[in-house]
Structure 1
Amino acid sequence: MTRFDASTAATRIELVADAIAAHRERGSPYTTITVEPTDTDRELGHGAPWVQYFDGTVALDCTEYELEQLKSLCSEFSSFSIEELVEPEEAEGTHARLTARTDDERVAQFVDRVFQDVFDRPASYRLWVTDI
């Protein structure tokens, strides 16, 4: 891979699909996709939202509100199902693991929508692949 960020829907989806393919080819433990934190993230004491992909699994941390948005998004993407929700005592929020029974491009479309619909990013947000 030669590029690691994108800011249009088409280029973000292509980048995430390429990152998943590179992760698989390299046999790495996971790939991490993130965005810049907003002022709201900082006010809440959160870092930048992130999504990880590994072995057909999409993982992310979310607030109670974001979890409800994630559940709603899964109703639009029938090939994704929430498999595990962990609420650590020492942290606020929930760690969600979803099973993705689909191809890389559909996973990439889902990830793009997660950042927009769950993490409330605008259509022009910039996505970064930080680990492959």
Structure 2
Amino acid sequence: MTRFDAADTAERRKLFAEAVLAHRNRGSQFCTIEVDPADAPGVNADDEEPAPVPWVQFAEKTFNLDCTDAELDRLKGLLDDFPECRIERIERPEEAEGANVRITARSDANRLGQFADRALQVTFGLDDDYRAWVTQV
């Protein structure tokens, strides 16, 4: 991979697909995609404890992300558009607000890139021009 961020739909999806391919080709543990803090709702660098930046990880055939109950409802609604993706497990640790969600996804890298983009945008209420970074491959 030669670039690590993108801010329009087509470029983000291409970037995410390339990250999935790089992850697979390298046999890495996982790849991580993070929303740019400047585009993340509720994230303010001046806050003592800013809201966490939305992220999604992909490993083998599984996406992983943390979300609130409202965000989880939006994510579940999105799955109707992606029949190759299904929620495998939802964990609700006592010490955390919200849930950790694992989604099994069996598809090609391009479709997985589309899902990652839509999951971030819909789940976390991001604008069409949000910037995302591949932070680990």
Taking the aligned partners of 1:6 and 1:39, their CA distance within structure 2 comes to 18
1:40 aligns with 2:38: no
Deviations 1:6-43 (A, max 9, x none): 01111100100001111111111000001123352457
Residue number among 118, 124, 131 corresponding to 1:126 in the alignment: 131
Residue number among 57, 69, 72 corresponding to 1:67 in the alignment: 72
Deviations 1:51-107 (A, max 9, x none): 000011011000000000010001111110000000000111100000001111111
Is the partner of 1:40 in helix, strand or coil? coil
Amino acid at match of 1:35: V
- Structure 2 equivalent of residue 85 of structure 1: 90
**RMSD between aligned alpha carbons?**
1.4
* TM-score, length-scaled by structure 1: 0.95
Q: 1:1-132 to 2 correspondence within 5 Å? A: 1-37=1-37, 38=40, 40-42=42-44, 45-132=50-137
| Farther-moved stretch of structure 1 (45-54 vs 61-70) | 45-54
Change in Cα spacing, 1:125 to 1:39, as seen in structure 2 (3 Å) is: closer
* TM-score, length-scaled by structure 2: 0.91
Aligned-residue sequence identity (percent) comes to 46
Q: Which runs of 5 or more residues in structure 2 are unaligned?
A: none
Taking the aligned partners of 1:15 and 1:39, their CA distance within structure 2 comes to 22
